[in-house]
Amino acid sequence: MKKNIAIYLVLILLYVYYNLFFPAAENRIRTAVNLLIGSFLMAYMACIAYSYLKNPEKKRKR
């Protein structure tokens, strides 16, 4: 689980880095790229949640 969260953190940092240092010249292109990257981040988060709910670490120790 820690590996998935680390990958997600790296993806978010790349998203922020892209928006700060490599903005697209045209506003419509920038909006489209932000929508695509945001959609990918949400889909990755959904995959993490699905895999966690499907296999809850051997009935989590309490």
Query: What is the per-residue pLDDT across 7-53, written as a single tens digit (0 to 9) for each?
Result: 889 989 988 988 888 777 888 888 888 899 899 999 999 998 888 88
Instruction: Give the three-state DSSP class for 2.
Output: helix
pTM beyond cutoff 0.85: no
If we measure between CA atoms, which residue out of 14, 42, 39, 11 comes closest to residue 3?
Answer: 11
State residue 53 phi and psi, 5-degree precision.
-75, -30
